[in-house]
A and B are shown apart, each in its own frame.
Chain A
Amino acid sequence: MKDNVSSDPIEISLIDSVLKENLKDLVETAAEAGLDAVLEQDVLKQIPVFGILIKIASLGATLRDRLFARKLLRFLREIADIPQDKRNEFAQKLDSKKEKRRAGESILLLLERLDDMKKPEIIGRIVRLAILGEIDFDTSMKLSAMVDRSYISDLVLLPQAERGKGIPDEAAEALATVGLLERRIDTDVLGLKGPCGANVIFYNLSCFGKSLVPILES
């Protein structure tokens, strides 16, 4: 069987992977077989970015490679069922090779850094919105960077940030530091957090936090 390996750099091959017509079938096959088994087979090579990684980096040789491959697969799984015309439109917006390369590079750098296997799915859902045209690509990368910089245990609390009793102050402060919450300094007129009239910090969702809540809940 002829290897389906692109001569384009790996960054562009990621965008080509997003455009791959039978991406959903390939990703589902890989997911069902289990990545470790599928790395030994040809199915992944049909996805351009994996084709390059397997050829140039002997993907799967190290634990780090295997984890990266899992992240990529989880990311691609979230966008694999987007209608082909929407994916083509997205690629047309990244009209120049330079733009494609920049977009692919941003996503690969992010995925490589991620410290939790839930995050590639979240970033897949964010990039999915960019492909569907619901947010612009730069916003999707800003949101993704915030996900990258958050502890997953804090991140999963975000949907509760403005509901019920809210979230613990430590988690709120960490999420504010990455930009998902905004700090609001107020006067504790009821004295329920300390001395009456003292300053108190409340945490509200930032515009990025508001965008991320439905993604985390989907």
Chain B
Amino acid sequence: MPAHYIATMMASGDINWRSKFTSGLSNDGPDDKRLIIDFFGNIKSVPWITVASYGYVADLNVLVDNVPVLFDKKWIRGKGLRRATITSASENSFIIEIQI
């Protein structure tokens, strides 16, 4: 199962994070190596997602630095840039799937 989180950008620009599905998550991380983030808000202002020549990438180091409470974990720390797929997108709502 993937590790699944919800990120909601507030009017202040701060992002409220919470787990959506992480039950049974071991220290090795999700067994299918997928990290999914449901994101609501202005994605362009988020520092941990960017674009590479081959597609979107998520910078997991920046994610750990920005949200250490949730992501400063062995299975994600130091992983750097990883391919990210946008599986759903509407005006201010995105589902981002990251291969870790």
* Chain A interfacial positions (CB closer than 8 Å to B): 161-169, 172, 184, 186, 188-193, 200, 202-204
Q: Identify the closest chain A residue to B44 (Cβ).
A: A191
Asked whether, in the complex, the Cβ of B53 is within 8 Å of the Cβ of A161, the reply is: yes
Q: Please list 14 pairs of residues, one from A and one from B, whose beta carbons are closer than 8 Å in the complex, sorted by A's number.
A: A165-B52, A165-B53, A167-B53, A168-B53, A186-B55, A188-B51, A189-B89, A190-B43, A191-B44, A192-B50, A192-B51, A193-B51, A200-B51, A203-B54
Contacts of A190 in B (CB 8 A): 43-44, 49, 51, 56, 86, 89, 94
Contact with A along B85-97 (1 / 0, CB 8 A): 0100100001000
Asked whether, in the complex, the Cβ of B86 is within 8 Å of the Cβ of A166, the reply is: no
Asked whether, in the complex, the Cβ of A169 is within 8 Å of the Cβ of B86, the reply is: no
Range of interface residues on B (Cβ < 8 Å): 10 to 19
Residue in contact with A189 in the complex, picked from B54, B83, B94, CB distance below 8 Å = B94
Q: Identify the closest chain A residue to B49 (Cβ).
A: A190
The residue in B52, B56, B83, B94 that gathers the most chain A C-beta atoms within 10 A of its C-beta is B52
Whether B2 is near chain A, meaning CB under 8 Å from some CB there, is no
Distance of A146 Cα from B37 Cα, bound (Å): 40
CB of A215, distance to nearest CB on chain B (Å)? 20
Distance of A192 Cα from B94 Cα, bound (Å): 14
Distance of A91 Cα from B27 Cα, bound (Å): 54
Asked whether, in the complex, the Cβ of B53 is within 8 Å of the Cβ of A166, the reply is: yes
Given A191-B43, A192-B49, 8 further pairs, Cβ under 8 A = A163-B81, A166-B52, A167-B53, A169-B53, A190-B43, A192-B56, A202-B53, A202-B55
